[in-house]
Amino acid sequence: MSMLAGLKVLEIADGLTDFGGRMLAELGADVTVVLPEAPQEKSRERAWHHGKTRVTADSAEAIRALAQSVDIILDGQRNGDRFNLATTVNPTIIYVKVTPFSPTGPYAGRPASDLTLFALSGLMHVTGDPTGTPLKFPGQQAYALTGIQAATAALMALYARRKTGKGQGADLSAFQSTTLANYREAVMYEWTGRIGRRQGNLLVRGKSGVRQIWPCKDGYVTWSMIDNPSMMRAVVGVMIEQGAAGELSEIDWGNILVADTAQETIERWQAVFGTFFAAHTRSELGRWSLERGWGLSVIMAPDDVRDSDHLAARGLFVPVTDEATGESVNLPGPLFHSAAMDAPRRSLAKPVPASTLAAGAGR
């Protein structure tokens, strides 16, 4: 049995709630999603709306009728309010209204997209190369982060409803959801007066900056010289075994603070590490990291992730069938591992008009 089996959810989708509705569906809820007015990219439809009942908004009245029989509404309309659900829902319903900005603040009602919300979060300012244009993270992270918060708010209100028997409203800001992920920039400014800058792939701590990305024989790995003596000793230990440690074998890592070491010394040491990494494959370096506790990670391309033995053993990717075309694509399925997690519907449903669904529900 799934955790949320039998729970009925109506989602009004336009990016902001897409992943939140998907999470609830993955946990077993019966999610009906009202599709946005503008058609979505096929890949986004597949990723975010599989496992849901997809409806087109042919009738606002039908949407309002559907809203009467659900436990939770996730309303993520970015542009106006097509359905006026807030005034029609009954008192046991949990109504999560997701908007780009707070409903009464100075930005209320402004248009927004994933990119503009990410820019506002402060994360973009510190992502990218120092001399280049600020970068977004891959995919649509502002929407994803907001979606998770929508699911969180809905489940918190569900917990409260178990105690009180009453539903309630929740206003959720996408700007705040995205900014909450930025745990560093505002607090650093507040306490140090320093404004973070883009550092590329350099990790700057104290006096020095250390590399995070290293070319190896067949790709890239990520690892950094950090003030963790046991990790440093673990890497250098293997380098000594391989005859590649050079001057690193003489260093007492327990008495060195990398953050206080001169940059030219860091560069000299990094050259030794770089030569060693370049001589080995991702597989070799990844295996040493796992066995010896290096903290090094192989940089995996999307196909590597899809083919990962580890993720296969954990059952992350699952086949999802498009009911309209019969095509199947492997997508992330379970959100986490749990004893109470039956597989939900693994298909992208054909859209049906809301009026048809509402008439069926009425019968």
Partner 1 sequence: MSALADLRIADFSWVGAGPRATKDLADNGATVIKIESRKRLDLGRMSPPFAGDPKDFDGSAFFAQTNTSKKSVTINLSDPKGIEIARKLVAWADVVVENFGPGFMDRIGLGYAVLKKIKPDIILASVSVAGKTGPMAGFRGYGNSAAAHSGHAWLTGEANNPPHMPPLAYGDVVAPMFLTVAILAALEHRSRTGEGQHLDVSQIEPMVHVIADLYAQDRAEKAGNDDPSCRVHGVFPTAGTDQWIAITAENNAQAEALKTSLGIAALDRETIAAATQGQDKFALFDKLSAAGVAAGPVLDGKDLSENPELLASGHYTKVEHPVLGLSSMPAPPYVFSETPGKIGPAPLLGQHNRDVYVDMLGLDGAEVDTLMREGSLA
d(CA 245, CA 238) in angstroms, rounded, equals: 8
Q: Is 151 in the site for partner 1 (CB under 8 A)?
A: yes
C-beta of 62 vs 344, nearer to partner 1: 344
- At closest approach, how far in Å is the CB of 273 from partner 1? 16
CB 8, CB 29: distance < 8 Å: yes
Q: Is 162 in the site for partner 1 (CB under 8 A)?
A: yes
C-beta of 161 vs 353, nearer to partner 1: 161
Which residue in the set 58, 64, 68, 220 belongs to the binding site for partner 1 (CB under 8 A)?
220
Q: For the residues of 39-83, what is the DSSP string, one character each?
A: PPPHHHHHHHHTTSEEEE-S-HHHHHHHHTT-SEEEE--SSS-SS
Which residue in the set 56, 59, 68, 135 belongs to the binding site for partner 1 (CB under 8 A)?
135
C-alpha distances (whole Å) from 11 to each of 5, 92, 106, 155, 233 are: 17, 17, 27, 14, 52
d(CA 344, CA 321) in angstroms, rounded, equals: 13
Q: Is 171 in the site for partner 1 (CB under 8 A)?
A: yes
Q: Is 221 in the site for partner 1 (CB under 8 A)?
A: yes
d(CA 134, CA 334) in angstroms, rounded, equals: 33
- At closest approach, how far in Å is the CB of 207 from partner 1? 14
Q: Which of residues 176-215 bind partner 1 (CB under 8 A)?
A: 176-177, 179-192, 194-201, 203, 212-213, 215
Q: Is 261 in the site for partner 1 (CB under 8 A)?
A: no
Sign of the torsion formed by the C-alpha atoms of 13, 18, 20 and 24: positive
Q: Which of residues 222-241 bind partner 1 (CB under 8 A)?
A: 222, 226, 228
C-beta of 88 vs 356, nearer to partner 1: 88
Long-range contacts for 263-266 (Cβ within 8 Å, ≥24 apart)? 263/207, 263/208, 263/209, 266/208, 266/209, 266/210, 266/225
- At closest approach, how far in Å is the CB of 356 from partner 1? 27
- At closest approach, how far in Å is the CB of 350 from partner 1? 17
Q: Is 363 in the site for partner 1 (CB under 8 A)?
A: no
Q: How many residues bind partner 1 (CB under 8 A)?
A: 142
Q: Is 113 in the site for partner 1 (CB under 8 A)?
A: yes
Token code pair at residue 226:
């950090």
Which residue in the set 58, 59, 68, 137 belongs to the binding site for partner 1 (CB under 8 A)?
137
d(CA 38, CA 16) in angstroms, rounded, equals: 14
